[in-house]
């Protein structure tokens, strides 16, 4: 198979995979598990495809894949507003992952610091969290621990760098969507209430998807582009 055909084939497979994972994202009631306190939150399985692309494809192809994924997912499963939010999150996530791909340890450390700040803001707002708030506080704490552990592991074993990049990308995606929501709804309270939870949950989910991505690279015997 010549390089051009291989490139087009890989692009088509990743696009199809992102749509399938997008359906799975909608099938998992993660928001309901959190008591509805974080509406609209998902596992972000479809965003792992963009993580693969960052390591396996060139930058123009990554950007095109992100745009195609957002537009197709929006028209098939969502709405124009969903496209707007997904586009803002996708652009920021892609930029962050491309920028820190060569410095995964630093990205894990920054994610840990963001999770720590998010936990602090949440506890200041709710000194004795209960119910869904308690679940969110625990998730943010786990995200901080996971990011800090990822930082220490990546420094010793650079092959785990994809985990740090995944965590930073997931957090950036949630931040991008929240900034768009702030611009559209003009509600600055979101940045102090909803955003900290999204950062913590994003870091936790990003750690999980990063581990999965690394296992996929190993299983397929792929050599990520650094």
Q: Residue 226 pLDDT > 50, yes or no? A: no
pTM here is: 0.80
How does the average pLDDT of the chain come out, rounded? 78
Return the number of other C-beta atoms located less than 10 Å from residue 37's C-beta: 14
> How would residue 140 be classed by pLDDT, with cut points 50, 70 and 90?
confident
Angle at CA of residue 22, ends 9 and 26, nearest 5°? 165
Q: Measuring CA to CA, which residue among 86, 21, 29 is closest to residue 52?
A: 21
Q: Residue 139 to residues 122, 179, 182, 190: CA-CA distances in angstroms?
A: 12, 22, 24, 19
pLDDT digits (tens, 9 = 90+) for 90-126: 888 888 888 888 777 777 788 788 888 877 877 787 7
pLDDT digits (tens, 9 = 90+) for 163-217: 888 888 888 888 888 888 777 777 766 666 677 777 777 787 888 888 888 887 7
Mean pLDDT, range 10-24, rounded to an integer: 83
């Amino acid at each position: 198979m010549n390089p051009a055909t291989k490139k087009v084939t890989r692009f088509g497979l990743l696009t199809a995979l992102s749509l399938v994972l997008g359906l799975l994202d909608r099938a998992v009631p993660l928001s309901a598990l959190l008591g509805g306190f974080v509406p609209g939150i998902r596992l972000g399985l479809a965003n792992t495809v963009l993580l693969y692309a960052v390591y396996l494809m060139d930058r123009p192809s990554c950007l095109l894949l992100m745009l195609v994924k957002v537009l197709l997912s929006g028209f098939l499963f969502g709405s124009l507003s969903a496209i707007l939010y997904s586009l803002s999150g996708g652009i920021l996530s892609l930029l962050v992952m491309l920028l820190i791909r060569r410095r995964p340890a630093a990205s894990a450390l920054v994610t840990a610091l963001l999770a720590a700040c998010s936990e602090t803001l949440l506890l200041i707002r709710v000194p004795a969290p209960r119910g869904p708030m308690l679940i969110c506080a625990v998730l943010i704490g786990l995200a901080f621990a996971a990011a800090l552990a990822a930082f220490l592991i990546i420094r010793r074993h650079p092959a785990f760098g994809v985990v740090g990049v995944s965590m930073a990308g997931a957090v950036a995606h949630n931040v991008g969507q929240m900034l768009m929501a702030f611009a559209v709804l003009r509600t600055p309270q979101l940045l102090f209430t909803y955003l900290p939870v999204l950062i913590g949950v994003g870091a936790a989910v990003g750690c999980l998807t990063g581990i999965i991505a690394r296992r996929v690279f190993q299983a397929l015997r792929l050599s990520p582009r650094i």
